[in-house]
Amino acid sequence: MTSLSFNELSFEEKEEKIMVNFQNLFYFELDKRLLEEIGGFTINRDSIIFQDIPEKRVYSRFNMILEHGLNNIKSRLSNKKVIYIHRNSGIP
């Protein structure tokens, strides 16, 4: 079992999508099929648990999915796409 827990992300299941909330100000949606390609999973409020999948595989695949999601992030206030710049982005 591999559990991915996050401080600033929360998850909600919505039919065929997973709503990922970021810092309560932003969100993006993931297609459940992307997570199913990694393996069987369970969604909790602040974590995703993958059953019987090697940890290395979960982390490498989920990081790609997460990066794609963060590139398509939207504001909760306007529902418009935003660009999130974090402190490690190399922008002074």
H-helix or E-strand spanning residue 11: strand 9-14
DSSP class per residue in 14-65: ETTEEEEEETTTEEEEEEHHHHHHH--EEEETTEEEESS--HHHHHHHHHHH
Identify whether 46 is part of a domain: yes
Number of domains in the chain: 1
Identify whether 87 is part of a domain: no
Identify whether 62 is part of a domain: yes
Question: pLDDT tens across 52-69, in order?
Answer: 899 999 999 999 999 899
pTM of the predicted model as reported, rounded to 2 decimal places: 0.85
CB 82 within 8 A of CB 26: yes
Identify whether 91 is part of a domain: no
pLDDT band at 85 (very low <50, low <70, confident <90, very high): confident
pLDDT of residue 88: 65
Identify whether 70 is part of a domain: yes
* Range of the structural domain that residue 31 is part of: 2-75
Question: pLDDT tens across 3-46, in order?
Answer: 999 999 999 999 899 999 999 999 999 999 999 999 999 999 99
